[in-house]
Amino acid sequence: MNTLPFTLPEDLSPPVALALFELLQALTDALWQQYEIDLVELIMEDLNQYPASQQSFDFDDDLPF
């Protein structure tokens, strides 16, 4: 995942910082609720992993019975 580098203004008041934090948290929650499946897939791609539903399994293994 790519992140954008940025700096926070040093003159933010605590109430403004809290308001920004709450806004971003609400936005994150709303995005997750609407796009959870797509986001999980993208995150797993970034980590070079895939959900079990997309993995192929070789069931022709020799079993030691």
39 assigned to some structural domain: yes
23 assigned to some structural domain: yes
The count of structural domains within the chain is 1
3-state secondary structure of 9: coil
Listed range (2-6, 19-23, 60-64) with the worst mean pLDDT: 60-64
pTM tops 0.75, yes or no:
no
Region 13-24 average pLDDT: 96
pLDDT digits (tens, 9 = 90+) for 32-64: 999 999 999 898 888 887 656 665 666 666 767
Domain that holds residue 44: 14-50
61 assigned to some structural domain: no
24 assigned to some structural domain: yes
